[in-house]
A and B are shown apart, each in its own frame.
Chain A
């Protein structure tokens, strides 16, 4: 099946929605392609409709903004300016170069439909916006593969989308601002949050305080979360880490310990906390696989964009966490700018940046704030040294830290790709998305781009059925 539009937006989170609304309002015919059954992305993930949630805002922040986006989307859908393809999992975006100025480049966005993902759908468009968001980085530790150990964002997604909890007594651990809404959200939903274990220390935040204090709205948010933690009696252990998760067949307890400034565990500080769920995360990583396949240049781990949110591949824009993790407000600003830029460019005119000055200011502020946060919430030094040799690092292929160390030590592998060839770390279902940061940290190799031809597994029948053009 083939659908056609002026613009294909991949991802219906804050960035994709803001872009689709801005472009559609300027006469662009948009197809919004998203893997979820409902718009919102991870930040505005909604309970499934059939669950009949009458107060979904209890699970959310900035509900008014969501209502504005949702109402805007519904108006454009009704008017036929936007088509929303839900449950469509994009596995590749192809660029067909233009033959002349009159016939510019065009794109084929290939997706798999429905939860079964056995049927291919192709969207053809003259421009593409990648708003593919991010996913969670989790660094391994002994016991992290036990059932009951979930990512912090995963626990939140299951709560927001399915109104379920991973267990009765939860420990939330790792590092980063995401841990605050996760801990308070789980507690509000009825879990006992036994501890919030954050490896960053308060001094790191104090050192960055001028940069952070420039964002009073974000400070107010932090104060609000602090109040919620007190209300739900969540004990916060700053500059602590989970050393090990224990259990036979499923999680029963975790051992946590205090960290010294050098990142070493303080002797005698280890203690055991009983829990049946551990929600753990060490920050977010941008989804860049579609951009990489298109040949877009990366800046560090994120897609590089110019002031208009254009990548260096003509016809391809990117917005939101895929261009750098910085939260929903930043994603909204970037999406809005991208949508206006795309509309102007598709109409053959030069966009006027003055028309999005407010969004550009929000973008600058958002990026400055996230840069300051990144230095506060870096994974605690020494994490790789605490991983025992028998700890599984690659969850799909069950490759241990010892095997990875042997590959880089005895066998001399000096990049993640060689480690992969020698050990199979990163060769399984998730294609290294879960283990790549750990392999990089264990071997001292810099992380390298994934270079995956497809963003997800594709049935051979779908590949075979693709037209030749």
Chain B
């Protein structure tokens, strides 16, 4: 943020598993979660293991997340919006 001298628009609130987080306009869901120190938001359907961003460019599908009730969203691609309800995706999310 500092080196690029960013002046983002006003921050807004989203929730992650019921907890309020601050996000910035322009960020993806993944970027907002990283900025809040969250690195995992999915548990695998086989072993129930935690996962988050891996490839960061939409190739690996490891960062799947449930946003506003819709499962299987790639957090690294989906822009975060004010009031988004983000939930850890369990398994297939269905």
Task: Give A contacts to B, CB under 8 Å.
Answer: 35, 37, 42, 47-56, 58-59, 89, 115-116, 135-136, 145-151, 153-158, 161-167, 188-190, 249-251, 395-398, 428-430, 433-434
Closest to A55 in B: B5
Check B26 against A50 for contact (C-beta < 8 Å). Answer: yes
Is there an interface contact between A153 and B27, defined as CB atoms closer than 8 Å?
A: no
**8 residue pairs, one from A and one from B, having the closest CB atoms:** A154-B56, A162-B31, A48-B26, A50-B26, A429-B61, A147-B40, A50-B25, A52-B7
Number of A-B contacts (CB under 8 A): 154
With A and B bound together, what is the CA distance between A147 and B46 in angstroms? 16
Partner of B4, one of A37, A53, A148, A428: A53
Residue in B closest to A160 when the chains form the complex, CB atoms: B4
Known: A35-B58, A55-B4. A147 touches B51 (CB 8 A): yes
Contacts of B73 in A (CB 8 A): 115-116
| Bound: A429/B44 CA distance, A | 12
* CB pair A163 B6 closer than 8 Å: yes
Please report the C-alpha to C-alpha distance between residue A135 and residue B76 in the assembled complex, in whole angstroms.
Answer: 15
Alpha-carbon separation in the docked complex, A156 to B55 (Å) = 10
Instruction: Give, as a whole number of angstroms, the nearest-CB distance from B18 to chain A.
Output: 19
Chain B residues whose CB sits within 8 angstroms of the CB of A54 once the complex forms: 4-7
Complex formed: what's the CA distance from A309 to B54 in Å? Answer: 32
Interface of A is mostly: loop
* Smallest beta-carbon distance B47→chain A, Å: 6
Given contacts A35-B58, A50-B8, A89-B58, 16 further A-B contacts (CB under 8 A): A50-B24, A52-B7, A52-B9, A55-B4, A115-B78, A135-B55, A150-B53, A150-B54, A156-B56, A157-B57, A158-B31, A158-B53, A188-B3, A190-B2, A250-B50, A398-B47
The complex places the Cα of A359 from the Cα of B2 at a distance, in Å, of 37
* Contacts A51-B26, A115-B77, A396-B61; A163 near B4 (Cβ below 8 A): yes
A428 touches B53 (CB 8 A): no
Chain B residues in 8 Å Cβ range of A190: 2-3
> Which chain A residues lie closer than 8 Å to B64 at the CB level?
429
1/0 per position for B33-46, CB-CB distance to A under 8 A?
A: 01100011000101
* B46 engages A398 (CB within 8 Å): yes
Instruction: Tell me whether A250 and B39 are in contact in the complex, defined as CB-CB below 8 angstroms, given that A151-B55, A161-B28, A428-B61 are known contacts.
Output: yes
- Name B's interface SS: loop
- Given A50-B9, A250-B39, check contact A42 B3 (CB 8 Å): no
Contact of A149 among B49, B54, B57, B61 (CB under 8 A): B54
B residues adjacent to A (C-beta < 8 A): 1-9, 24-28, 30-31, 34-35, 39-40, 44, 46-47, 49-62, 64, 70, 73-74, 76-79
Complex partner residue of A434 from B56, B60, B77, CB under 8 angstroms: B60
Write the chain A residue with the least CB distance to B58: A35
Known: A52-B7, A54-B4. A151 touches B26 (CB 8 A): no
Residue among A135, A163, A398 having the largest count of chain B Cβ atoms under 10 Å: A163
B56 and A430 within 8 A (CB): no
Asked if A51 meets B53 with Cβ closer than 8 Å, knowing A147-B40, A164-B34, the reply is no
Q: Are A147 and B76 in contact (CB under 8 A)?
A: no
Q: List 9 A–B pairs whose Cβ atoms lie within 8 Å, in order of A's numbering.
A: A37-B79, A48-B79, A49-B26, A55-B5, A116-B70, A161-B28, A162-B26, A164-B27, A434-B59
Known: A145-B49, A147-B52, A150-B54. A161 touches B6 (CB 8 A): no
Which residue of the partner chain A has the closest CB to B47?
A398
- B56 CB → nearest A CB, Å: 3
The reply to whether A166 and B77 contact each other, CB–CB distance below 8 Å, is no
How distant is B20 from chain A, measured CB to nearest CB, in Å?
A: 18
Which residues of the partner chain B approach A115 to less than 8 Å between Cβ atoms? Answer: 73-74, 77-79
In the complex, how many angstroms separate the beta carbon of A66 from the nearest chain B beta carbon? 14
Task: Closest A residue to B53 by CB, please name it.
Answer: A150
Report the bound CA distance from A16 to B84 in whole Å.
34
Q: What is the minimal beta-carbon distance from B37 to any residue of chain A, in angstroms?
A: 9
Residue of A nearest to B79 (CB): A115
